[in-house]
Amino acid sequence: MTKRIAMWSGPRNLSTAMMYSFAARGDCRVVDEPFYAAYLAQTGVDHPMREDVLRTQDQDPDSIAKTLISPVSEPVFYQKHMTHHMLDDWNADWMSHVTHVFLIRHPARVVASYARKREAPVLEDLGFVQQARIFDQVGGGIVVDSSDIRADPAGMLQKLCSTVGISWTERMLSWPAGGHPADGVWAAHWYNAIHASTGFDGAEGPLPELEGRYAELADAAMPHYEALAARKIT
């Protein structure tokens, strides 16, 4: 029976590295942000490469949901989801068929990283509010902090696999440079650094110092981050 893992995170949060890590297992199918085009189509939000995303992905959330719970041949099916892509008026019945994991990262780090890729972000772009909502909606789940993974990839991934209920393999610690066939078309804009990597970066340094609107944005996200951080595996 396939173990289906829905990994929920906001942007700029080790999410692509985690997808590559699971893909490297050898027994795992991965999917990259399957609801992205549906989110763009319904909200009208202007994102980098918007038209390319709309052109290359299914825009029907019900159709997408069916693919996430349909039979697959692999023992593990890893689904990389952005929390802000899951609109609250969509049918969520499929969520009862997957194991939910919530990947968190300190808001100051997220804001600093996101602002380098897209100007003038607002709280809704960063996924913290939506992540807390989904956590409550599905009745909780497994929480893991990206900083903990970077500080001890082997140790934290072993704990995560054990908690999820799948085997651990050292193959999860590295992957080939240059991307993965499952990458969305948006990889050309967002994945430059990860495409140059072959494994997890080292432990993160001090928190970035934010000013003005960016500091306010991180402050607004903090309560949602802290609520999940209190439940993270260590």
Residue that has been written with the tokens 């899951």 in this structure? 86
pLDDT score recorded for residue 232: 98
pLDDT score recorded for residue 65: 98
Distance CA 70, CA 83 (A): 21
Nearest to 189 by CA among 81, 48, 10: 48
In a domain, 15, yes or no: yes
Mean pLDDT, contiguous 10-residue spans, the chain (234 residues) = 96 93 98 98 93 97 98 98 95 97 96 80 91 97 97 98 98 96 93 92 91 93 97 96
DSSP state of 232: B
In a domain, 194, yes or no: yes
Q: Which domain holds residue 142?
A: 3-229
Q: Read off the pLDDT of residues 97-120 as tens digits, 9 standing for 90 and up.
A: 999 999 999 999 999 888 887 777
**How many domains would you assign to the chain?**
1
Residue 162: which CATH number? 3.40.50
In a domain, 114, yes or no: yes
In a domain, 234, yes or no: no
In a domain, 216, yes or no: yes
Residue that has been written with the tokens 């772009």 in this structure? 125
Residue 138 is which amino acid?
V
In a domain, 138, yes or no: yes
In a domain, 92, yes or no: yes
What are the residues whose beta carbons fall under 8 Å from the beta carbon of 232, sequence distance 6 or more? Answer: 104, 143, 144, 145, 148
In a domain, 130, yes or no: yes
